[in-house]
Amino acid sequence: MTEMTNTAAGNPFTYAPAPESRAIVDIAPSYGLFIDGEFTESSGQEMVKTVSPATEEVLAEYTQGTGEDVDRAVRAARKAFSTWSALPGAERAKYLFRIARIIQERSRELAVLETLDNGKPIRETRDADLPLVAAHFFYYAGWADKLGHAGFGPNPRPLGVAGQVIPWNFPLLMLAWKIAPALAAGNTVVLKPAETTPLSALFFADICRQAGLPKGVVNIVTGDGRTGEALVTHPGIDKVAFTGSTAVGKAIARQVAGTGKRLTLELGGKGANIVFDDAPIDQAVEGIVTGIFFNQGQVCCAGSRLLVQESIQDELLDALKRRLATLRLGDPLDKNTDIGAINSAEQLARITALARTGEAEGAERWSAPCELPSSGFWFPPTLFTGVTQAHTVARDEIFGPVLSVLSFRTPDEAVAKANNSQYGLSAGIWTEKGSRILAVANKLRAGVVWANTFNKFDPTSPFGGYKESGFGREGGRHGLEAYLDV
Amino acid sequence: MSESARLHVFKTYKLYVGGKFPRSESGRVYEVTDAKGTWLANAPLSSRKDARDAVVAARKAVGGWSGATAYNRGQILYRVAEMLEGRREQFVREVADAEGLSKSKAAAQVDAAVDRWVWYAGWTDKIAQVVGGANPVAGPFFNLSTPEPTGVVAVLAPQESSFLGLVSVIAPVIATGNTAVVVASERAPLPALSLGEVLATSDLPGGVVNVLSGRTAELAAPLAAHQDVNAIDLTGAVADESLAKELEIAAADNLKRVLRPRAEEWATEPDIHRMTAFLETKTVWHPTGALGAAGSSY
């Protein structure tokens, strides 16, 4: 495959750099917490730096929220709940529509910010994250005055104060998934963004200000797992919504037990992307790339296990490697970049360790030929062949640009292997045969099944896992249920 | 010989597991009395091993039952109502004894339980239309959200309502294609064990419902911790907060779906939450393709 390498100097097809300007974002040197409608200092002293994963440049420092801060935020949310929930739904709807519009107006600014803080390519923040963020607020805005028609009885009530903890892979999108349905249903929220990506949530606080959202309806408390635990265990919240690792999800489920707090969990995955011998190969290759290399594979619903029918394995792998060699890894702010930086040094270490385990257990490793920048956190698109179901790389969620390739002969075998996982979040099916799509989709134990496509999202569509990928759904009318007393 | 002189034939109550009627593997029984303390029967005192056997039977039945058509499941649930109606007198007597009710009050409970089977029989082929459907995606895709059964559901039946409550927690679980391991009311297990006889003669495949009698806390612990149980209904632990909490913590190990206990009025018409609590939602996407820019003008 080396002849396909395009990083070599002198390649006539080399792109000129096309960097997006970062001048559009004005990042303050230091951030406090957003509680009761205003930025405020913490009761503690601890400040943390957030860096750009692509350069390790310090972007800003932010506050490590304390238990006392969480308590203040929950009280503010509780106080705001009585008036917010009593507002006519049509009024709540208008606030959400306003927020959606402001997100659209500030979309470019937020896309650049998200790329700086997260390391994902601007192409993704601009074309995927931000449009979906706005779409979620638009979608749930329309529910706010129609809750009686959502199928949960004539007068469904909000739960109260929601404590929401979100991950670093889609910082603003996960915020939208959590906050939009919560507010539409009449709840107030305290949200903790991830410790490596706090900035876009703090910018969202400013959007709430611009929208004139009543004080205390949205509160943002930054910090690490300690802050998250203080929030989840706070007796003043009525609902916990968490997206993140399965291990933390289980811990939260135990903490919430016996408290009566409602709980929804969106956890890990090890999605199977199944390619049958009659699949359109070029489209399948694109789907495999989207499935595992979108957001550097740091996606819970990533198609991280490729199940390919044995008869086309060689052909498919050749085509896949050829395609991977054309992926452009580098500056996330460059509009031509396909593969950005890994979100943190810690995550890079985890990916690196799991890839080493894959080699140590005898799987064959292949990485796309690309130069890695000298600073920042980087991992090349990588695939493992000769993988069996017992291999660690076929079982554990790697949460990085690492694809494990397994083969199968019959549809039954494909289904059995796909379902042989503690997880059940996503799956893909590639075949031209409609009846096979339906038969296989029917048998897969996964909350989202993409047939002849992958990693598509839409606010109208329920998303969530089977088995240990968590419970509850986000998106659609199902996503409202999580915030209503039904 | 006069009626009064005839010696009654007692019934040996047995478990209902995998379509069969075993005794507890432990060989243990416990004394079941009526509301006044008079001996009624010795019920099996199920062990942890019985609970595990029941899970194996329920797991084995998942494929066939969840794969049956909704129409077929509805027919079978209605058949349960038919068979129950035929044994009405037996259940009225057992419920009256179990709960210390008058014959007429017990009869009302049994009639309501029969009607509940009929109610859920009608749901099997409607729930997917009510909670699933096509989503209006903003893009060239078609997608469909469909409810699917979670799998094996452990059900702690209500302690007080030995029959109407029991039916009210079993029927919704199996209507949607799940299979169930049911722990009967600890104090009043006999109507539940007799229900097994009805289910066995109602075309319900063996293993779809498995009925255990014994100590709720003793049986619930291994069920809540069992890695092959997908969901648990804690209704029978409503009066024991610490037990319910303990079970919910154990259930977190494999992220079981948990239906928390809450006070219920069994006589009122139910809503669909007992069905949706044990359903997953699967969303399947497919590109719709594009037929060209010109479009159609109908």
Does residue A194 fall inside a structural domain? yes
User: How close, in Å, is residue B179 to chain A by CA atoms?
Assistant: 16
Asked if A450 reaches chain B (Cβ–Cβ under 8 Å), the answer is yes
A57-66: pLDDT as tens digits: 999 999 999 9
Identify whether residues A250 and A157 lie together within a single domain.
Answer: yes
Per the CB < 8 Å rule, is B249 touching A471? no
Is A300 considered catalytic here? yes
pLDDT in the model for residue B291: 64
CA dist B149 and B175 (Å) reads 9
| Token pair in block for residue A303 | 């198609």
Share of chain A above pLDDT 70, in %: 97
User: CA-based Rg of chain B, rounded to a whole angstrom?
Assistant: 21
Task: Identify the active-site residue in A208, A300, A301, A370.
Answer: A300
Identify whether residues A209 and A243 lie together within a single domain.
Answer: yes
Identify whether residues A186 and A100 lie together within a single domain.
Answer: yes
Identify whether residues A122 and A195 lie together within a single domain.
Answer: yes
Identify whether residues A196 and A300 lie together within a single domain.
Answer: no
Per the CB < 8 Å rule, is A478 touching B281? yes
CA dist A230 and A252 (Å) reads 11
pLDDT in the model for residue B260: 97
Q: Which residue of B has its CA nearest to A132?
A: B138
Identify whether residues A231 and A308 lie together within a single domain.
Answer: no
A134-167: pLDDT as tens digits: 999 999 999 999 999 999 999 999 999 999 999 9
User: How close, in Å, is residue A433 to chain B by CA atoms?
Assistant: 12
Q: Which domain holds residue A368?
A: 272-459
Is A266 considered catalytic here? yes
Per the CB < 8 Å rule, is A476 touching B143? no
pLDDT band, very low/low/confident/very high, at A4 (cuts 50, 70, 90) = very low
Any idea what the CATH number is for the domain that residue A165 is in? 3.40.605.10
Q: Which residue of B has its CA nearest to A486?
A: B273
pLDDT in the model for residue A5: 46
DSSP string, A243-296: ES-HHHHHHHHHHHTTT--EEEEE-----EEEE-TTS-HHHHHHHHHHHHHGGG
A347-364: pLDDT as tens digits: 999 999 999 999 999 999
Identify whether residues A145 and A240 lie together within a single domain.
Answer: yes
| Token pair in block for residue B172 | 């919704």
Identify whether residues A224 and A346 lie together within a single domain.
Answer: no
Identify whether residues A167 and A212 lie together within a single domain.
Answer: yes
pLDDT in the model for residue B2: 56
Partners of residue A441 in chain B, C-beta under 8 Å: 282, 284
Per the CB < 8 Å rule, is B285 touching A486? no
Beta bridge partners of A467: A423
Partners of residue A463 in chain B, C-beta under 8 Å: 283
3-state secondary structure chain B: CCHHHCCCCCCCCCCEECCECCCCCCCCEEEEECCCCCEEEEEECCCHHHHHHHHHHHHHHHHHHHHCCHHHHHHHHHHHHHHHHHCHHHHHHHHHHHHCCCHHHHHHHHHHHHHHHHHHHCCCCCHHHHHCEEECCCCCEEEEEEEEECCEEEEECCCCCCCHHHHHHHHHHHHCCCEEEEECCCCCCHHHHHHHHHHHCCCCCCCCEEEECCCHHHHHHHHHHCCCCCEEECHHHCCCHHHHHHHHHHHHHHCCEEECCCCCCCCCCCCCHHHHCCEEEEEEEEECCCCCCCCCCC
> Other C-beta atoms within 10 Å of A346: how many?
12
Comparing CB atoms, the residue among B251, B255, B287 nearest residue A470 is B255
pLDDT in the model for residue A14: 76
Residue bearing tokens 């999800």? A249
Quick one: which of A454, A460, A384 has its CA closest to A426? A454
CA distance readout (Å), A135 to A35, A79, A181, A202, A459: 26, 29, 12, 20, 7
Quick one: which of B17, B75, B11, B85 has its CA closest to B46? B17
Average pLDDT value for residue range A423-440: 98
Q: Under DSSP, is residue A87 helix (H, G, I), strand (E, B) or coil?
A: coil
Comparing CB atoms, the residue among A151, A258, A458 nearest residue B241 is A258
pLDDT in the model for residue A15: 82
Residues of chain B in Cβ contact (below 8 Å) with chain A: 130-131, 135-139, 141, 143, 145, 150, 230, 241-242, 244-245, 248-249, 251-255, 257, 260, 271, 273, 280-287
pLDDT in the model for residue A9: 53
Partners of residue A456 in chain B, C-beta under 8 Å: 137, 139, 141, 285
CA distance readout (Å), B98 to A173, B161, B185: 55, 9, 10
Identify whether residues A78 and A114 lie together within a single domain.
Answer: yes
pLDDT in the model for residue A253: 98
Identify whether residues A128 and A198 lie together within a single domain.
Answer: yes
pLDDT in the model for residue B298: 61
CB A67 within 8 A of CB A231: no
Q: Under DSSP, is residue A309 helix (H, G, I), strand (E, B) or coil?
A: strand
Asked if A192 reaches chain B (Cβ–Cβ under 8 Å), the answer is no
CB A408 within 8 A of CB A46: no
Query: What is the sign, positive or negative, of the torsion defined by CA atoms of A26, A32, A35, A41?
Result: negative
**Amino acid present at A109:** E
Partners of residue A150 in chain B, C-beta under 8 Å: none
Does residue A200 fall inside a structural domain? yes
pLDDT in the model for residue A418: 98
pLDDT in the model for residue A90: 98
Q: Indicate the DSSP class of residue A19.
A: B
- Digits of tens for pLDDT over chain B (298 positions)? 555 789 999 999 999 999 999 999 999 999 999 989 999 999 999 999 999 999 999 999 999 999 999 999 999 999 999 999 999 999 999 999 999 999 999 999 999 999 999 999 999 999 999 999 999 999 999 999 999 999 999 999 999 999 999 999 999 999 999 999 999 999 999 999 999 999 999 999 999 999 999 999 999 999 999 999 999 999 999 999 999 999 999 999 999 999 999 999 999 999 999 999 999 999 999 999 866 555 566 6
Any idea what the CATH number is for the domain that residue A432 is in? 3.40.309.10
Range list of H helices, A106-245: 107-118, 122-124, 130-143, 171-184, 199-211, 225-232
pLDDT in the model for residue B289: 81
Which CATH code is given to the segment(s) B41-288?
3.40.605.10
Instruction: Evaluate if residue A411 carries a pLDDT over 50.
Output: yes
Hey, of A301, A425, A466, A473, which one would you mutate to test binding to chain B, going by the most B CBs within 10 A of its CB? A466
CA distance readout (Å), B95 to A116, B21, B170: 68, 21, 17
Query: What count of Cα atoms within 13 Å lies in the side-chain half-sphere of residue B257?
Result: 25
Residue bearing tokens 């029969």? B114
From the number of C-beta atoms within 10 Å of its C-beta (0-12, 13-18, 19+), residue A97 rates as middle
Share of chain A above pLDDT 90, in %: 96
Does residue A428 fall inside a structural domain? yes
From the number of C-beta atoms within 10 Å of its C-beta (0-12, 13-18, 19+), residue B136 rates as exposed
Instruction: Evaluate if residue A3 carries a pLDDT over 50.
Output: no
Q: Which residue of B has its CA nearest to A438?
A: B284
Per the CB < 8 Å rule, is A449 touching B284? yes
Residue bearing tokens 């709980």? A263
Identify whether residues A97 and A243 lie together within a single domain.
Answer: yes
Instruction: Evaluate if residue A451 carries a pLDDT over 80.
Output: yes
Does residue A9 fall inside a structural domain? no
Q: Which residues neighbour A78 within 8 Å (Cβ) at sequence distance 6 or greater?
A: A160, A161, A188, A236
Task: Show which of residues 426-445 on chain A sit within 8 Å of chain B, judged by CB atoms.
Answer: 437, 441, 444
CA dist A184 and A475 (Å) reads 12
Average pLDDT, chain A: 96
CA dist A328 and B45 (Å) reads 66
Torsion angle, alpha carbons of A446, A450, A454, A457, to 10 = -80
Does residue A464 fall inside a structural domain? no
Torsion angle, alpha carbons of A89, A266, A307, B254, to 10 = -140
Number of structural domains chain A divides into? 2
Q: Which residue of A has its CA nearest to B134?
A: A461
Query: What count of Cα atoms within 13 Å lies in the side-chain half-sphere of residue A68?
Result: 7
Quick one: which of A88, A268, A331 has its CA closest to A186? A88
| Token pair in block for residue B47 | 């062990």
Does residue A1 fall inside a structural domain? no
Hey, of B59, B143, B246, which one would you mutate to test binding to chain A, going by the most A CBs within 10 A of its CB? B143
User: How close, in Å, is residue A248 to chain B by CA atoms?
Assistant: 11
